[in-house]
Structure 1
């Protein structure tokens, strides 16, 4: 068993089956109820109902002046509802899960939810154009169609969606329960913090909670498109990897065919055509007379100025192999033949090998 720290970084095997949420009757009923609540809040603000009066009472109460000791902490806590920091944190965690589970679905679900959030919440913000509490002009007015962009609360809706995605993508019922409670606490706290800081009306927060919950409840309708997108992305990844990875080299089995031997060109000393000596893997070169010379550590053939040692091996008819030690480099011409065993070696210092002579008395 591996005990090093990198053992924990190994990707876990692909889960046998990742449960994908479906649009069940319960979820459909929750979606319909949340949508009705969403529309009721919008209508109540449009007609300046008692909810608008509550908005003004809370704003004039000024919670940030009643409990100033909470201001420093809540200034940092409200960051959990900002789109940029929360998207980066959650995307990092889901990217790690995608790598370990061999899938890109978590990242695609996060991207689809953020796209729906920007489209729906942004459209309502710009369409209603409500001003915030700090920019209100008339007491008791809903401050609609005045060029604002705070209705519904983007911080609140983003907190519901971003942290709720963790519960939506949970793979076990226990993890789903814990993550649902955690995301609900964070979303509730972020919404009330914006009311405390005076950046949103209370009805902004109510509509933000409803807007974020609607996106989470509608995500199963996007699962088919998410699955098709994942298939396309994985197929493109496989194509790119197949083009970039080199072809694996096959090992040569023992006793099988050897790699091709490329000839080595050695220049002829008399200015003639260079002589080709095939060089094998072991560094041995065949001489024109049928002999065999070895290549020294410097890469030059050996064959002159050394004493040969021969050893007989095998039965009758086997040939002796001479191992020659090189003293200085030389070349061998095409027209020369290997020296006979009875010939006298050339004097030391000469560059040309001895020429063959007829044996007397032959």
Structure 2
């Protein structure tokens, strides 16, 4: 009887012992799988996840969204803002900000038009003149911040006002048109199915990404934005780097102005002025910190696509143009809050 009574207990103990490793293994496997999934999700940039969600939602909400023509149209629509955003993210990486970017678009465009139509210079020289004007505004911004010790917000606010006024003064606020056909073809033709202005945008992003990642002068920008005093003690040329970045941003804004002029076949004295919100939105949504020291071309490109897809989708859904900036504003707030939450987790 004793043996009979003990046998069930022994059998139950064996069964429990046999079951325990199995349960433990299952739980361990689930825990490992969960941690791997969390790791994968954590490695995917938040803006990219947001872009995918917006993309899927709009593909259901509008039958015209996923058409090849509309997707290429999005690339064309964001080309000018994208070129401006490259310069803006470089400035934010070093801890600055540029409010004059939209006014530089207008002034460089009107300067080119004035040199060509009023001064009657050859168009090629007028084109270079427009780029030089953008570089000069960037140089002034750089000198005011690097040597004048002005806050970037104040310095670029002043040049924004001055550039906007000069753009109106050159032609008394009148638009200028009548440009060579080859110039207009930049935004009206395609190469291997991709708009030329889209190719220009991708090339600028790729070159800048290579510079930031693989060149010492590009990597130095992160050090300057992260801690300027430490960067100075390390021997980095702080002032020269700041001036160079602002000049590059000015040239890129001028290129954006030429793209806008080519697309409209008209130089408008107020062109680009309303794009400042979109440029800042692209940079912030792309993950660049306004305190400096962080930012990437991949994140900025994803932020650019988010803004482009949102604006395009709202137009397809007949959302009022007056409400579209409201949506962009909410997206900016959500992006900043997400960035802060991510920064706290990393710290």
- TM-score of the pair, normalised by structure 2: 0.25
Higher relative contact order (CA 8 A, sep 6+): 2
- TM-score of the pair, normalised by structure 1: 0.24
Q: Based on CA coordinates, which of the two structures has the bigger radius of gyration?
A: 1
